[in-house]
Amino acid sequence: MTRRPPRPRERGIPEATVARLPLYLRALQALDERGTPTVSSEELASVAGVNSAKLRKDLSHLGSYGTRGVGYDVEYLIYQISRELGLTQDWSVAIVGVGNLGRALANYGGFGTRGFRIAALLDADPAVVGDAVAGLRVGHIDSLEEVVAREHVSIGVIATPAAAAQGVCDRFVGAGVTSVLNFAPVVLNVPDGVDVRKVDLSIELQILAFHEQRKADGRGGPEWIEALEA
Amino acid sequence: MTRRPPRPRERGIPEATVARLPLYLRALQALDERGTPTVSSEELASVAGVNSAKLRKDLSHLGSYGTRGVGYDVEYLIYQISRELGLTQDWSVAIVGVGNLGRALANYGGFGTRGFRIAALLDADPAVVGDAVAGLRVGHIDSLEEVVAREHVSIGVIATPAAAAQGVCDRFVGAGVTSVLNFAPVVLNVPDGVDVRKVDLSIELQILAFHEQRKADGRGGPEWIEALEA
DNA sequence: ACGCCCTTGTGAATGTATGCACAAAGTGGG
DNA sequence: CCCACTTTGTGCATACATTCACAAGGGCGT
């Protein structure tokens, strides 16, 4: 294992890198809309709010898509990152739980523009079923399996109250969904091969509270270094 | 610097640990409500969805609050984690942007129960200002500085469209807020000493899409190890 | 009072991520 | 055609995180 053939990426992109690719993608799209044809790692890093060395190492995991002395071609890099993230194909998403959060998700513009199609909105509450939200009719949760099959849903979004989340998750998994995005404040149990990501509003606040307290404690303390995450 | 006095925690809890403490806290509260008096690291880890060695190391950063041979006292540990996170004091939160997301946040029960008080809801849209949401009257964005001072707001939540986010952030910072939770899909620029955490719906979906694609690509591929994050 | 069993707390090993600093590689001017 | 300048891509050092494996310590039965 000494020479690497001109094969671009070989499998195995670090998780930390994957988590930053969407950030780069967004920064690049902003540059593209402004008509910028090429960008250096320094500039792009600054827009994305990261260190330029990190950016270059991240991009190097996808392949050598830059030009030394020049930088990166914005459109080409957008394409490469999109492809790597799997955004060149369409993904069907089903959202379960049409409360305020579910509505916010359904109306969130960022989805449709990036290869995600909301295939269905489902809820258990008869008072909500039948409503029109974001141009879709809300269906009943009982049709989950049918909808997943018909619409080829591969990503399930859970925006229900905590108590209902595990049940919905089980039904998603049972119907063949292998990626779940969970907004309910519970730890979901899933079999191997199923990815779960969670977004938890109150956890983020608690982390902020911790740092905030540290800043206040520090009155009179010796050092004061504050780690920042952008 | 050789001997450590019996002082429990000395400053400097790893960031990764801090991010998990809220998870443990929630698991403990669930156990407490069920009347469980003590819990072993194995059990608690299982409920929280992490490895038990990791749990023990995390807790060891706070001090030695367990009893060998027995486990942890649930109530005592709840108190210790709460104190460490700064949840034994009250934090005032202001939410800017009262769209669907802002409403979802305002109505989210998990806040009030854990030391977070929603001090104000603000919006720029005259059609929304004056509405009652979650028992509060929506104020105008122009009163931001006044509200922050009067209510001692220390955490600002941004739930506005992307274009407005940086401006709101600047006003928060100018008013003295040093912790910001950002839901808008932009990278915020803040001076040193200000913490920003972001929650980005579309980034999470893109990460899922990446892994989903990998699973599909893998048809015929040799290995199949899937990293999971719960 | 003693010894067995259980579970914590932690040293050490491994794995992963970050950031510096520079050689390699491309551009453009003369 | 060559040289000076710019910017990438990466080897290396360091820092951070995870996991194993076990000694230290506490409870409980006899």
Tell me how far apart the alpha carbons of residues B106 and B100 are, in angstroms, rounded to a whole number.
10
In tens, the pLDDT along A67-80 reads: 999 999 999 999 99
SS3 A134: coil
Q: Is A109 helix (H, G, I), strand (E, B) or coil?
A: coil
Domain boundary among A34, A50, A85: A85
Report yes or no on A151 lying in a domain.
yes
H or E element in which residue A123 lies: strand A116-123
Banded pLDDT at A11 (limits 50, 70, 90): low
- Are B208 and A195 inside 8 Å of each other by CB? yes
Q: Cα B96 vs. chain centroid, distance in angstroms?
A: 17
Q: Is there a domain that residue B1 lies in?
A: no
What is the spatial distance between Cα A6 and Cα B61, in angstroms, rounded to a whole number?
Answer: 47
- Residue B132: pLDDT band with limits 50, 70, 90: very high
Q: Can you give the pLDDT at residue B112?
A: 67
Q: What does the alpha-carbon distance between residue B155 and residue B108 come to, in Å, rounded to a whole number?
A: 16
In total, how many domains does chain B have?
2
Say if residue A99 is in the same domain as residue A196: yes
Residues of B in contact with A108 (CB under 8 A): 201-202
Q: What is the pLDDT of residue A111?
A: 74
Please state at what angle helix A52-60 crosses helix A41-48, rounded to 10 degrees: 110
Contacts of B108 in chain A (CB under 8 A): 101, 201-202
Residue B151 (CA) to nucleotide C15 (C1'), in angstroms, measures 47
pLDDT number for residue A99? 96
Residue span of the structural domain in which A70 resides: 15-85
Nearest to A206 among B11, B22, B202 (CB): B22
Check residue B203 and give its pLDDT: 95
pLDDT at B3 (0 to 100): 30
Which pLDDT does position B5 carry in this prediction?
33
Q: Is residue A107 part of a domain?
A: yes
Cα B154 to Cα B180: distance, rounded to the nearest angstrom: 9
Same domain, A96 and A73: no
pLDDT greater than 80 at residue A2 = no
A178 CB inside 7 Å of strand D = no
In terms of domains, do B148 and B78 share one?
Answer: no
Q: What confidence category does residue A147 fall into, taking pLDDT thresholds of 50, 70 and 90? A: very high
Give me the residue label for tokens 């034994």.
B88
| pLDDT at residue B4 in the model | 31
Q: Are A160 and A181 in contact (CB under 8 A)?
A: no
Q: Which of A95, A86, A90, A106 is nearest to A21 (CA)?
A: A86
For residue A204, count CB atoms less than 10 angstroms from its CB and return exposed for 0-12, middle for 13-18, buried for 19 or more. buried
Q: Are residues B95 and B188 in the same domain?
A: yes
Q: Which residues of A are annotated as part of the binding site? A: 97-102
- Cite the DSSP H helix spans in chain B: 15-33, 41-48, 52-60, 74-85, 100-107, 144-151, 162-174, 201-217
**What six digits make up the tokens of A218?**
């520090």
pLDDT by residue (tens digit) across B146-165? 999 999 999 999 999 999 99
| CA dist., res. A28 & res. A78, Å (int) | 6
What are the residue ranges of helices labelled H in A86-181?
A: 100-107, 144-151, 162-174
**Closest of B206, B150, B141 to residue B170, by C-alpha:** B141
SS3 A147: helix
**Are A54 and A119 part of one and the same domain?**
no
Closest residue (CA) to C1' of nucleotide C24 is A68
Phi, psi of B66 (to 5 degrees): -105, 170
Are residues B103 and B157 both part of a single domain? yes
Known binding residues of A for NAD(+): 97-102
Average pLDDT, chain A: 90
Residue A6: both structure tokens together: 């001109």
Clarify whether residues A106 and A171 are in a common domain: yes
What DSSP designation does B70 have?
T
Q: Domain of B37: which CATH number? A: 1.10.10.10
Q: CA-CA distance, B187 to B164, in Å (whole number)?
A: 12
Q: Could you tell me if residue A59 is inside a domain?
A: yes
Contacts of residue A18, defined as CB under 8 A and 6 or more positions apart, other chains included, come to A85, B207, B210
CA R_g for chain B: 21
> Are the Cβ atoms of A108 and B207 closer than 8 angstroms?
no
Rounded to 5 degrees, φ, ψ at B86 are 85, 25
* AA letter at A197: R
A27 to chain B: which residues are within 8 Å by CB? 187
**Which residues make Cβ contacts (< 8 Å) with residue B222, sequence separation at least 6?**
none
Residue B184 lies in a domain: yes
**Dist CA B175 CA B126 (whole Å):** 23
B9 or B55: which leads in pLDDT? B55
pLDDT band of residue B216 (cuts 50, 70, 90) is confident
CATH number at residue B150: 3.40.50.720
Same domain, B80 and B96: no
Tokens (6 digits) for A113: 């523009």
Q: Is the CB of A156 under 7 A from strand D?
A: no
- The band of A223, judged by pLDDT with boundaries at 50, 70 and 90, is very low
Kindly report the three-state secondary structure assignment for every residue of B5-31: CCCCCCCCCCHHHHHHHHHHHHHHHHH
Note whether B38 and B142 are same-domain residues.
no
Chain A residue closest in CA terms to B84: A210
Q: Would you say residue B211 has pLDDT above 70?
A: yes
Q: pLDDT, tens digit, for every residue of A34-55?
A: 999 999 999 999 999 999 999 9
pLDDT score recorded for residue A218: 59
Q: What is the mean pLDDT of residues B1-17?
A: 59
Domain boundary at B65, B85, B105, which? B85
Tell me, yes or no, whether A209 lies in a domain.
no
SS3 assignment, position A138: strand
Q: Are residues A64 and A168 in the same domain?
A: no
Backbone angles phi, psi at B156, to 5 degrees: -105, 135
Query: In terms of domains, do A121 and A81 share one?
Result: no
Beta strands A132-133 and A179-182, pairing class: unpaired
Q: Are residues B73 and B106 in the same domain?
A: no
3 state SS of A56: helix
Residue B198 domain flag: yes
Mean pLDDT over the full length of chain B:
90
What 3-state class would DSSP assign to B182? strand
| Closest nt by CA–C1' to A42 | D7
Decide if B223 is inside a domain: no
Percentage with pLDDT > 90 across chain A: 84
Secondary structure class of A121 (helix, strand, coil)? strand
